[in-house]
Structure 1
C-alpha cells in the first residue's frame, strides 16, 4: 500500500475519532503529495519523494515549534509538536545515534575518506543509503565528527 493510500485511511480514522490535529496534519501531507503529482503531470510519486516530503514537513514543524517556544507561545508550539508526532508515524524507523555512528563508520570505510576534505564523498553516499532513516543534519554532524 502506497503512502497516499495509507494517509487516506488515516484521514478516515482521524475523521471518525474527531482528532483535529491529526486530521490537519494528514491533510497537509496529502496536499503535498497531490501537489508533487500535479507537478509531474500525473506521474507516480516514488517512495524516496514521499520520504522527502515527510522529512521536509517535519523540519518545517520543528522550526515553527522552536520559534513559538522561543516567543513564549506554548499553545502554538504544542500544536506544532503534536503535528510532528503524527507525521513521524509515516517515516521509516529512525536510526539511534549509535546506529547512525555505526552506519557512518561503514560508509567512511567504504569511500576511503580520511579528512573533512572528503566530506562531500561521504555525504553523497550517506544521503542515498540513509535517506529516510535519519535527517540530513544528523548525518552531516556525525560525518564531521568522525572525519575530524
Structure 2
C-alpha cells in the first residue's frame, strides 16, 4: 500500500472517530503529496524515497514551527504543531539513536578513508544516502564534524 493510499484510509478512520486534530494533520500530508504529484514533469505516483523525503521535510517544518511558537509564548500553536508532528512520525521509519548513528558514521568514515575535517564532504555524501530517513541531517552533520576533528 502506497503512502497516499495509507493516508486516505487513515483520513477515513479519523473522520469516523471524529478526531479533528489527526484529520487536519493527515489532510496536510495528503495536500503535500498532491502538490508534488501535480508539479509539471512529476511522476503520477511518488517513489518510496520521494515519499520519505516529503515526510522528513514536513516533520522538520513542524519541529521548527513548534520551536518558534514556544519561543514566542504561543503554546497552543506549538502543541498543535507537535500533534501534527506526532502523526507524521507514524509514517516515518524509526529514527536511529545517537549511538547507532555514531556507529554507522564510523563505518562510513573507515570505508571512504576520511582522515580529517577536509574529508567532511566525502563522509556527508555517503552518510546522507545511507542514513536518509533514519536520522536527522543536522545531527549527522554535527557528529561527522565531531568525529573528524578527533
Q: Render the CA deviation track for 1:95-119: whole Å, top value 9, x for unaligned.
A: 0111111111111111111111111
Structure 1 unaligned runs (5+)? none
Q: Tell me the equivalent position of 1:14.
A: 14
Q: Tell me the equivalent position of 2:29.
A: 29
Q: Tell me the equivalent position of 1:116.
A: 117
SS of aligned partner of 2:138: helix
Structure 2 unaligned runs (5+)? none
1:11 is displaced (CA, Å) by 0.8
TM-score normalised by structure 1 residue count:
0.96
Is 1:86–2:87 an aligned residue pair?
A: yes
User: Residues 68 and 139 from structure 1, CA distance in 2 versus in 1: closer, same or farther, beyond 3 angstroms?
Assistant: same
CA distance in 1, matches of 2:19, 2:32: 20
Q: Which runs of 4+ in 1 moved over 4 A?
A: none
Root-mean-square deviation (CA, aligned residues, Å) is: 1.0
Of residues 122-131 and 36-45 in structure 1, the stretch that sits farther from structure 2 once superposed is: 36-45
Q: Render the CA deviation track for 1:61-82: whole Å, top value 9, x for unaligned.
A: 1111011101111111111111
Of residues 36-45 and 78-87 in structure 1, the stretch that sits farther from structure 2 once superposed is: 36-45
CA distance in 2, matches of 1:107, 1:124: 10
Q: Render the CA deviation track for 1:5-47: whole Å, top value 9, x for unaligned.
A: 1111111111111111111111111111111111144432111
CA distance in 1, matches of 2:28, 2:10: 12
TM-score normalised by structure 2 residue count:
0.94
CA distance in 1, matches of 2:138, 2:113: 22
